[in-house]
Structure 1
Amino acid sequence: MEYTKLGDSDLVVSKICMGTMTFGRQNTLEDGVEQLTKAFDEYGINFIDTAEMYPVPTQPETAGDTDRTVAAFLKTRKRSDVILATKVSGTSDRINWLRSNGELCKLNKAQITESIDASLKRLEVDYIDLLQLHWPDRYVGGLFGQPDYDVNKENEEGKDTSFEEQLSALNDAVKAGKVRYIGVSNETPYGVMEMTHLARRYPDLYPKIVSIQNSYSLIVRKDYDAGLTECCSPRNCNVGLLAYSPLAGGILSGKYAKNKVDEKARLNLFPGFMARYKDSQVEKAVAAYSSIASSHGLTPTELSLSWCYHRSNVASSIIGATTLEQLEENLKAFDVRLTAECLEEIEDVYKVFTDPTKAYGVGKKAAD
Structure 2
Amino acid sequence: MQYRRLGSSALEVSRVCLGTMTFGQQNTEREAHAQLDLARDAGVNFIDTAEMYAVPARAETYGASERIVGSWLRRQPRDRIVLATKVAGPARALNWIRGGPTALDAANLQAAIEGSLSRLQTDYVDLYQLHWPERNQPMFGQWQYDPARERECTPIRAQLEALSGLVKAGKVRYVGLSNEHPWGVTEFLRLAREHDLPCIVSVQNAYNLLNRVFEYGMAELCARAQVSLLAYSPLAFGLLSGKYLADPRAAGRLTEFPGFGQRYDKPSVAPAVAAYAKLAAEFGHSPAALALAFVTGRWFVDSTIIGATSLEQLKENLAAADMTLSESELAAIDAVHLQWSNPAP
Give CA-to-partner distance per residue, 1:186-213, whole Å, 9 cap, x none: 001111111101111221xx11000000
Which residue of 1 is the match for residue 27 of structure 2?
A: 27
1:84 maps to amino acid: L
The Cα of 1:104 is off from its aligned counterpart by 3.3
CA displacement at 1:19 relative to structure 2: 0.1
For residues 16 and 77 of structure 1, the distance between their equivalents in structure 2, rounded to whole angstroms, comes to: 19
Deviations along 1:247-272, one digit per CA (max 9) or x if unpaired, are 01111011111237433x11100001
Aligned residue number for residue 52 of structure 1: 51
Q: Distance in 1 between matches of 2:68 and 2:205?
A: 24
Matched, 1:111 2:108: yes
The residue type paired with residue 148 of structure 1 is Q
C-alpha deviations, 1:45-95, integer Å up to 9, x for none? 000000000000001111011011101111221100100000001213411
Deviation at 1:339, TM superposition (A): 1.1
Judge conservation of contact 1:196–1:208 (CA < 8 Å) in 2: yes
**CA 1:350–1:260 in 2, change beyond 3 Å: closer, same or farther?**
closer
What is the distance in 2 between the residues matched to 1:302 and 1:103?
Answer: 39
Q: CA deviation at 1:108?
A: 1.5
Equivalent residues in 2 for 1:12-91 (5 A)? 12-41=12-41, 43-91=42-90
Normalised to the residue count of structure 2, the TM-score between the two structures is: 0.98
Alpha-carbon distance between aligned partners in 2 of 1:307 and 1:147, rounded to the nearest angstrom: 23
| 1:219 equivalent in structure 2 | 210
Query: Matches of 1:97 and 1:123 in 2, distance apart?
Result: 19
Identity of aligned residues (%): 48
Q: Could you tell me the TM-score, scaled by structure 1's length?
A: 0.92
- Aligned partners of 1:335 and 1:122: how far apart in 2? 32
- The two structures, once aligned, show a CA RMSD in angstroms of 1.2
Contact 1:70–1:123, Cα closer than 8 Å, also in 2: yes
Q: Does 1:244 align with 2:240?
A: no
1:280 aligned residue: 267
Q: Which residue in 2 is equivalent to 1:365?
A: none
SS at match of 2:205: strand
3-state SS, counterpart of residue 330 of structure 2: helix
Counterpart amino acid of 1:327?
L
Distance 2:147 2:3 in 1: 41
Query: How far apart, CA to CA, are the structure 1 residues paired with 2:288 and 2:143?
Result: 28
Conservation of the 8 A alpha-carbon contact between 2:234 and 2:306: yes
1:263-295 Cα shifts (integer Å, max 9, x gaps): 3x1110000101232433111101101111000
Q: What is the CA–CA distance in structure 1 between the aligned matches of 2:34 and 2:47, rounded to whole Å?
A: 14
Partner Cα separation in structure 2 for residue 266 and residue 146 of structure 1:
20
**Unmatched 5+ stretches in structure 2:** none
122-131 vs 267-276, greater mean Cα deviation: 267-276
Are 1:95 and 1:105, in contact at CA under 8 Å, matched by a contact in 2? no
Cα distance in structure 2, aligned partners of 1:251 and 1:52: 26
Amino acid at match of 1:218: L
> 1:332 maps to what in 2?
319
User: Which whole-Å CA distance do the structure 1 matches of 2:155 and 2:17 have between them?
Assistant: 30
Q: How does 1:167-182 map to 2 (within 5 A)?
A: 167-182=160-175
Residue aligning to 1:128 = 125
